[in-house]
Amino acid sequence: MKIIIMLAILIISANTTLASKKLQPLTTVDRVDLNRYAGLWYQFAYFPNSFQPKNSGLTTAEYTLHPKGHITVKNTAYKDFEGSKVKSDIKGKAFIADKSTNSRLKVQFFWPFKADYWIILLDENDYKWAVVSDPSRKYLWILTRSPYLDRDLYRLLLAQIEAKNIDTGKIEITGKFE
């Protein structure tokens, strides 16, 4: 009987610990003007992943609004930071998953697979930087309109990312500080 009671206590304790670590759902920005968001972005930093080339120099993402309502996506990784030699590029589409805010998209590079692309932070005045993740917080990109970013702004972004319970220790910087 004591073993059953101790086992029950362990199970309840484990469930309570897991429940206390449950994260609040990831929030996105209130509104994205897709016309302003379109254009060329530079990857300043990201979480390394299995689908992006390793040890690249400059990496860019170019978004173009398509008349049929989706966004054409072109991601390019260069061998050097000057962007003179292409290492790899891939084209895809992004579909607006939340038309009330335009901040949640689904990106597709290979049919039929789509991935969440959530804009969680954005320079709402000038659209000079954005932070993109997914609901699981497994992926993250800090995007800028220039391959350079002010160090103080980067620290501010890190604090805001951490406030969303995202592990900034996994971030790899690919851009350069001004």
How does pLDDT run across 111-125, given as a tens digit for each residue?
999 999 999 999 999
Secondary structure E strands in 47-164 = 59-65, 71-78, 86-96, 104-110, 113-122, 129-133, 140-144, 148-149
Taking a C-beta distance cutoff of 8 angstroms, is the pair 62, 69 a contact? no
63 vs 15, residue with greater confidence: 63
Q: How confident is the model at residue 54 (pLDDT cuts 50, 70, 90)?
A: confident
Q: Domain 31-177, CATH 3.40.50.20 — does that match?
A: no
Q: How far apart are CA 161 and CA 166, in angstroms?
A: 6
Mean pLDDT over the full length of the chain: 90
The conformation of residue 49, written as its DSSP 8-state character, comes to -
pLDDT of residue 23: 87
pLDDT of residue 55: 84
Domain boundaries, given as residue ranges, for the chain: 31-177
pLDDT of residue 21: 59
Sorted by sequence, the CB contacts under 8 Å of residue 102 that are 6+ apart come out as: 31, 32, 33, 34, 37, 96
* Residue 12 pLDDT exceeds 80: no
- Do the strands 176-177 and 148-149 form a parallel or antiparallel pair, or are they unpaired? parallel
